[in-house]
Structure 1
């Protein structure tokens, strides 16, 4: 019988306030453990640990949760983006419009698909791609636009969808952070040609390692992703991409999901809506306590648009004066933080050859200088939030040591 273990050794250090980690899922994992253990034991009994029945069950469960006609499980959110781009026909000579403010995988996935990222600025309130800047980035080589749903809300999919329709572009959603987010009832990743989910441990639905999935309502895209994730196999022995001419004969890769991660996700998925509700409660507590604190430049707000959309707080991000000094202060107080993102994508060394310069995307650059994420996860207590907010207030009122 398998069970989680923890050290019971007592510390001889003097008592002090316990740290407030940026992320932990210890309590969540304990609560989910009986269900996770059941799925793991079923996997061990079958003796198949990769691309097996637990993975198929997870794909079905995610299809039911999101409403996607097709879910294809893969081994990371990054691979999900790469394979989705390739399945949408993106390849050498193509450009994909990507926001300059995002995790590097949003742009590196384009390069891994052998295409070129073309950057656009962001809306300073939502941190998502600005439709006007995206349209300015479109050229005759543009094949797709990649909105990224960051932090707690969807990009402006109405405007970006209209842009794509005007120019005949594919819409590939980087919805890695967006499980549970919906626009007029439609789940993130299903508002264009397809989207992705990441199950990295810190995500709203997190595994114990890397895992991801592609969501789409298009059966051809789903079939191509499923073939590409398994060395290009159609069946058990045919190792080539049969009938996928738009991939120029490119081979597949090994991007199958492990059944261990699928088992963890199956055990946690039934509690996802409760976790989302808890995150909303924690975000509201942060906003109440931080409103009016000097030095806080922006707190999270939900964009009001013509079509209703459901926010889901993946992280709680603020904009702050003297951001780096604030981070150092919180670190001394035992409070974890995360900087999203220190350098905008267009100024990353790996994209230097594209010729972008500082000042090209001012909103993205400003966000990189000001944003910081505070501790945020369902295991967090309201007393922890009180402590974090008091530490922030002390920093800005001159009471910090």
Structure 2
């Protein structure tokens, strides 16, 4: 069988055609191992395992890659969100507008920062917040708006900025999935008070465990976030807290990044652009093979903007009929998938106190009923892409 899209590169032909895991980084990790090993040896020899020199080196490298003025390494993307919200000035009881379709940390981070999440529906083309829905929920308590950049493209940052300016709201970005995505050359997370990155192992830039970062061009946000990750301790006199030195000023967390994770991330950052390119090739291959397939309601689209934007395929998400049956069929044939997200945020039990009901956010609920993510990572082989697509076509035949 011939295809217009030819897949070559890391991982091609290495895995069994009978099994397609949802994610593996075995081949990529093996290729990066010499540099990882050298970095890990430096950690062990130096005896500083957390918040040490390799973390500082990774922060500097990530700042260069993203163009951020400040990078604050922390122990997870979720903690990064909590610290960003607090550092950007969220006060107890204030509201943050968030989309109803996202990972639970988007909204739970607002609660952990002692705010109140307020949900709006999504744009079905991007799965991101519908900026036109925001004005209807703004109140005198609304302080921030937090778009989420999901799967492979940015939210409509121009529309969100216009709404934020009209209502004097602070923009903070849940850019956890968006490393490498840019809007007119400016990296995701740098279009408001700040953003976050997650380095969970499955992410485009993944560690061996949990790790994350706050990125910002605002020195005060960076300074406060850096203190909050270390129990709220400021180690020197600060412009924003005159006379305070080496004291605990704010109640913070123990959310320092481990140097072991920084050792891995430093090595993998060197191949990030190549990995992003590989993901783009795989996404194009999926799209070519699945176009016109009965039962597939929607394939990923890249929404055209007036701004110059670039997709980065962290996730290849499709919408299908009989989603759960298809997932079971693929699993029975050795193919891993991930359901993003089976329950919309406003229907999650942890947000029951907010008083929402089914049907309030129809676009979010439709996505939850039909969306499924297919395997996409640099190690994926051409034969595995073929197998996934053939199984999907066979299911709907």
**Which TM bucket (shorter chain)?**
over 0.9
Q: In the alignment, is residue 61 of structure 1 matched against residue 61 of structure 2? A: yes
- Using the size of structure 2 for normalisation, the TM-score is 0.93
Aligned equivalent of 2:4: none
1:295 pairs with 2:303: no
CA displacement, residues 322-365 of structure 1 (integer Å, 9 cap, x when unaligned): 00000010011110000000000001011111111111100000
Alignment correspondent of 1:99: 99
Query: What pairs with 1:2-401 in structure 2 (closer than 5 Å)?
Result: 17-235=17-235, 242=241, 250-397=250-397
Count of residue pairs the alignment pairs up: 377
Aligned to 1:3: none
Which is bigger in relative contact order (C-alpha 8 A, separation at least 6)? 2
The 8 Å contact of residues 224 and 244 in structure 1, kept in 2 or not, is answered as: no
The CA distance in 1 between the partners of 2:285 and 2:135, in whole Å, is: 38
For the aligned residues, what is the CA RMSD?
A: 1.7
CA distance in 1 between counterparts of 2:139 and 2:396 reads 46
CA-CA distance at 1:369 after TM superposition: 0.1
- How far apart, in 2, do the equivalents of 1:100 and 1:353 lie? 15
Once residues 188 and 86 of structure 1 are traced to their aligned partners in structure 2, the CA distance between those partners, rounded to angstroms, is 19
Gaps of 5+ in 2: 1-15
Mapped partners of 1:64, 1:172: distance in 2: 21
Q: Distance in 1 between matches of 2:74 and 2:135?
A: 31
Instruction: Quote the Cα distance in structure 2 between the aligned partners of 1:314 and 1:74.
Output: 21
Shift of 1:91: 2.3
244 and 287 in structure 1: CA distance in 2 versus 1, 3 angstrom threshold: farther
Q: Distance in 2 between matches of 1:80 and 1:376?
A: 25
Residues 1:364 and 1:244: Cα distance change in structure 2 (over 3 Å): farther
- How big is the shift at 1:43? 1.1
The answer on whether the counterparts of 2:17 and 2:387 sit within 8 Å (CA) in structure 1 is: no
Q: Structure 1: 5+ residue runs without aligned partners?
A: 1-15
Tell me how far 1:244 sits from its aligned partner: 12
Q: Determine the C-alpha separation between the residues in 2 that align with 1:277 and 1:211.
A: 23
How far did 1:26 drift? 0.4
The secondary structure found in structure 2 opposite 1:56 is helix
Change (3 A) 1:335 1:145: same
SS of match in other structure, 2:302: coil
Could you tell me how far apart the structure 2 residues matched to 1:159 and 1:287 are?
Answer: 28
CA distance in 2, matches of 1:352, 1:133: 21
Q: Hey, what's the Cα distance between the residues in 2 that align with 1:357 and 1:211?
A: 34
Residue 45 of structure 1 deviates from its aligned partner by 1.2
Task: Report the 3-state secondary structure (helix = DSSP H, G, I; strand = E; otherwise coil) of the residue aligned with 1:72.
Answer: strand
3-state DSSP of counterpart to 2:134:
helix
Deviation of 1:243 after TM superposition, in Å, equals 5.9
> Counterparts of 2:45 and 2:250 in 1: how far apart (Å)?
37
Distance 1:310 1:340 in 2: 22
- Which sits farther off after the overlay, 249-258 or 307-316? 249-258
